[in-house]
Structure 1
Amino acid sequence: MKPVAFRGVRAILFDLDGTLIDSAPDLGAAADGMRVRRGLPSKPLLDYRPHVGSGARGMLHVAFGMGVEHVDYEHYKQEFFVDYESCLIQRTRPFEEVGQLVSSLLELGLLWGVVTNKAQRFTVPITRSMELFDSAATVISGDTTAHAKPHPEPLLEAARRMSLQPAQCIYVGDDERDIRAGRSAGMWTVAARYGYLGAGADVASWGADAEVSSPLQVLQLLELP
């Protein structure tokens, strides 16, 4: 992809899991704990990591080969949520360079925030547990608005809360729905190739305005006065 410089940017918005934080160890542990309780052998984190972007659906697929059409899916999903809630900040950490990226954005006088599909019951404890998020201008969860990504409404709500126009914002995410949501909202979009892309993800087909292979590369996209 050709280098691109974004002009007139006042804020950078980020997806949470796979973009700012590595939550795979806790998500995988919750699903794997369900396997072990049922007498099944443990699976390695490497099996779970590529499917983190799909949330409970992805974790249960890896752990049990279970799809949403399974008769017990809703029961297993609620059990997974309870288990995850009990361990969601045990192993989850910001990705390397994220802290430095946020510090640099603040030094440049830019706002930053989070727009995730993760429910508030999980987002709030995680963001409150990390000093990193103290400087976030806004945190939008999957149930903050009536819609979740790829619908643009969560991103539009984030812009409203920062008193900015969508065109003044960049949205960075590691899933195709992030890019679809950002484009629909009228924001610049950046695909985070270091995130939970999933097996066989064709990132180039997502239509992002730019791609980065590490968090700090986001700074190289900014054209500031």
Structure 2
Amino acid sequence: MSGAVIRAVLFDLDGTLIDSAPDLGAAADKMRTDRGLASYPLERYRFMAGAGARGMLGVAFGITPDSPEFPELREEFFKAYENRMLLNTQVFDGVPALIDAIRARGLAWGVVTNKSARFTVPLTRAIPLFGSAGAIVSGDSTPFSKPHPEPLYEAARRLEVPADACIYVGDDERDIIAGRAAGMRTIAATYGYMGPQADATLWNADAAISSPLELLKFLDPA
């Protein structure tokens, strides 16, 4: 990758830094079982975990955001998730070592997620890893969410780093769209929640990684 010298690394949250699928899926599945419906296995939810309420309710009930019942079910889902969002959520293997290596290189780092601050704030406060993050931008921190570039610009402003000196890492196409629109170099994290139909080679990211520590080869001068 070419361009300005890298000064910061920004990450998506769910599916990139943390595996929150067990708690997201369990929240949606409880809604099913509360209605007398059969429970689904976690793997049925996992590939849609990056899509939040839209993805979880789509799996659980086969509805879309256009469905008239969606707003009410979404709030029920939010409450169910809020009650358990730290029970089984884990940082992906390799991520703590990656963050240590980023900091050892003198680089800033932060998070840009579409998850609302209602969840992002308590979650990141509860996980020690995020204590060293220089910026945590939620889906409602700015008037826009990804794939709009504004949340990425906001993170760069908070880090006091030019956007073109940042790398953005995410596991969804909208992450790559947002990063490219912000003038950042982009990395597709294929170890996240990409389903069997997803093809990161179509996203036009600058590169892809299949494990967190693979990112390091893009942070050192050639």
- Which category of TM-score, normalised to the shorter sequence, fits these structures? over 0.9
2:152 maps to what in 1? Answer: 155
- Counterpart Cα distance in 2 of 1:108 and 1:136: 14
Q: What SS does structure 1 have at the residue aligned with 2:10? A: strand
- 2:68 aligned with 1:94: no
Q: TM-score, normalised to structure 1's length? A: 0.96
8 Å CA contact retained: 1:159, 1:169: yes
1:71 maps to what in 2? Answer: 68
Q: Please list the CA deviations of residues 3-27 of structure 1 after superposition, one character each: whole Å capped at 9, or x if unmatched.
A: x477600000000000000000000
**Structure 2 gap ranges (5+):** none
Would the alpha carbon gap of residues 6 and 221 (structure 1) be closer, same or farther in structure 2, given more than 3 Å must change?
A: farther
Give, as a single letter, the amino acid of the residue that structure 2 aligns with 1:16: L
Q: Please list the CA deviations of residues 31-50 of structure 1 after superposition, one character each: whole Å capped at 9, or x if unmatched.
A: 00000000011100000000
1:17 maps to what in 2? Answer: 14
1:211 maps to what in 2? Answer: 208
- Counterpart Cα distance in 2 of 1:142 and 1:68: 17
1:34 maps to what in 2? Answer: 31
Q: Please list the CA deviations of residues 111-134 of structure 1 after superposition, one character each: whole Å capped at 9, or x if unmatched.
A: 110000000000011100111000
1:198 maps to what in 2? Answer: 195
8 Å CA contact retained: 1:5, 1:221: no
Question: Which segments of structure 1 move beyond 6 Å, counting only runs of 4 or more?
Answer: none
- Counterpart Cα distance in 1 of 2:126 and 2:216: 26
Q: 1:54 Cα deviation (Å)?
A: 1.1
- Counterpart Cα distance in 2 of 1:156 and 1:7: 16
- 2:123 aligned with 1:126: yes
8 Å CA contact retained: 2:3, 2:164: no
**Structure 1 gap ranges (5+):** none
2:138 maps to what in 1? Answer: 141
- Counterpart Cα distance in 2 of 1:157 and 1:60: 30
Q: Please list the CA deviations of residues 32-75 of structure 1 after superposition, one character each: whole Å capped at 9, or x if unmatched.
A: 00000000111000000000111101101111111222221111
Give, as a single letter, the amino acid of the residue that structure 2 aligns with 1:157: E
Q: What SS does structure 2 have at the residue aligned with 1:68? A: coil
1:182 maps to what in 2? Answer: 179
Over the aligned positions, Cα root-mean-square deviation in angstroms equals 1.2
- Counterpart Cα distance in 2 of 1:190 and 1:154: 17
- Counterpart Cα distance in 1 of 2:103 and 2:220: 15
Q: TM-score, normalised to structure 2's length? A: 0.97
2:111 maps to what in 1? Answer: 114
Larger deviation: 96-105 or 215-224?
215-224
Q: Please list the CA deviations of residues 130-154 of structure 1 after superposition, one character each: whole Å capped at 9, or x if unmatched.
A: 1100000100000000000000000
- Counterpart Cα distance in 1 of 2:153 and 2:122: 24
8 Å CA contact retained: 1:53, 1:198: no
Percent identity at matched positions?
56
- Counterpart Cα distance in 1 of 2:7 and 2:103: 11
Q: Please list the CA deviations of residues 149-195 of structure 1 after superposition, one character each: whole Å capped at 9, or x if unmatched.
A: 00000000010111111111000000000000000000000000001
Paired residues in the alignment total 222
